[in-house]
Structure 1
Amino acid sequence: MKIIHYCLSALLLFAVAGCDRLEQDMLSAPDDATLDRYGFETVKLGDKRVEAVKSLETLLRVPLECKLGKTGLGDKRKAYLLEECKVTPVNGEVGKLWDEKLSFFKAVFVEDQLCSLEVQMKTSGNYEALYDAHGKKIINLFGKPDEIEAKGVVWQRENDEAVLKDLGDGKVSLDIRNKKVMQALHHKG
């Protein structure tokens, strides 16, 4: 029972959601082959900047603040266009995702393609209620987890990675990134 409780609390950080329901949700989760790219319902990694920003701004209370720059990718001797977009919090909030308050938001575009999303949600801390509301949706977006730890869950595909972490006090972070591009970034200019 202790192992089951540990897995439940780690999976999506929405603890004690009920063994049978969680098991059914995991069995019905899509396989990597059926998933296109990681992201939210309306925006996915690899989306073009214009479409991605339109979708992302529907989640946010204030517009994105973007900084342009150039970067190298790995050993290639070419400068690529890099754009990092953040939102300044208003009263500690930047917007909402899945009806939960966002306290931090960052998107990274390389050559006008979305390569990374980072969000932090301020939740009630009632992980069972959060799982009831959002657990199946998250499993359907990312599929079966590849790694489950006490404080986080990792999903990995060939190019993409999603990491959900419990930051404590009801704070949850979700990082979605193109692994190859984000690991190769260097020499910001």
Structure 2
Amino acid sequence: MKITHYCLSALLLFAVAGCDRLEQDMLSVPDDTTLDRYGLDTLKLGDKRAEVGKQLDALLDKPMQCTPGKTGLGDKRKAYLLEECSGVPVAGEVGKLWGEKLSFFKAVFVEDQLCSLELQLKTSGDYAALYEAHGKKIINLFGKPDEANAKGVRWQREGDEAVLKDLGDGNISFEIRNKKVVQALHHKG
């Protein structure tokens, strides 16, 4: 068995897709230096609220519900504008991403810039079909994984991080965040 077998079970959590397919896809992975910021399709971390708001709402069955506030960042004594937006559940789902059901959605903006996305996909659990449909797209968005194990995959850049986790029963958690901002958020005012 090839060493990339463990990567298959972790990479995108689509454990039963063929090793050969993963190896082929990994050969065409973009270099980290060609990736600007992490994000979904055309929206990226750091994008302005006005630019990504409509794209995020398009994923959802109902418009995002947002709560404004203020927060501190680390030890700085300045209050920053914070906006947390969530998807409104309708019959257990909030929308769709790449044709899969979204059961949870949360976006965080600091000073009108997207700094975090948390999504939970409720899928059929057929990981081979999911990899076939979405695997290459995700690899192209995030590049070569930095960490992979049987429960999840982590991609890291200097300021950004993306984490994909298998929650079981076909549920997949996807978190994309600006590491520095998310770590520095310490209280809401």
What's the TM-score, normalizing by structure 1? 0.97
Aligned to 1:174: 174
C-alpha contact (below 8 Å) 2:9/2:149 kept by paired residues: no
Q: Deviations over 1:28-68 (max 9, x none)?
A: 00011000110101211000001111111111110100001
Secondary structure at the counterpart of residue 58 of structure 1: helix
Cα separation, 2, equivalents of 1:2 and 1:46 = 38
CA contact (8 A) 2:38 2:161 kept: yes
Displacement, 1:2?
Answer: 7.8
1:79 is the counterpart of 2:111: no
Q: How far apart are residue 87 of structure 1 and its match?
A: 1.3
Structure 1, residues 66-101: CA drift from partner, whole Å, max 9, x if none? 001100001111000000000121000101001000
- Percent of counterpart pairs with the same letter? 80
Instruction: Give the equivalent residue in structure 1 for 2:60.
Output: 60
1:91 maps to amino acid? A
TM-score, with normalisation over the residues of structure 2?
0.97
Structure 1: give runs of 5+ residues left out of the alignment. none
Q: In 2, distance between residues paired with 1:28 and 1:5? A: 18
TM-superposed CA distance for 1:4, in Å, is 4.3
CA distance in 1, matches of 2:3, 2:171: 24
* Cα deviation, residue 22, structure 1: 0.5
- Secondary structure of the equivalent of 2:162? strand
Q: Distance in 2 between matches of 1:166 and 1:19?
A: 19
1:3 shift after superposition: 5.0
Q: What is the count of residue pairs matched by the alignment?
A: 189
1:107 touches 1:118 (CA, 8 Å); kept in 2? Answer: yes
1:104 aligned counterpart, secondary structure: strand
In 2, the alpha carbon distance for the partners of 1:32 and 1:7 equals 18
Structure 2 residue runs without a partner (length 5+):
none
Give the root-mean-square deviation of aligned CA atoms.
Answer: 1.0
Matches within 5 A, 1:152-171: 152-171=152-171
Q: Distance in 1 between the 2:90 and 2:16 partners? A: 33
| Alignment map for 1:22-171 (pairs within 5 Å) | 22-171=22-171
Separation of aligned partners in 2, 1:8 and 1:156: 18
| Matched AA of 1:14 | F
CA contact (8 A) 2:60 2:95 kept: yes
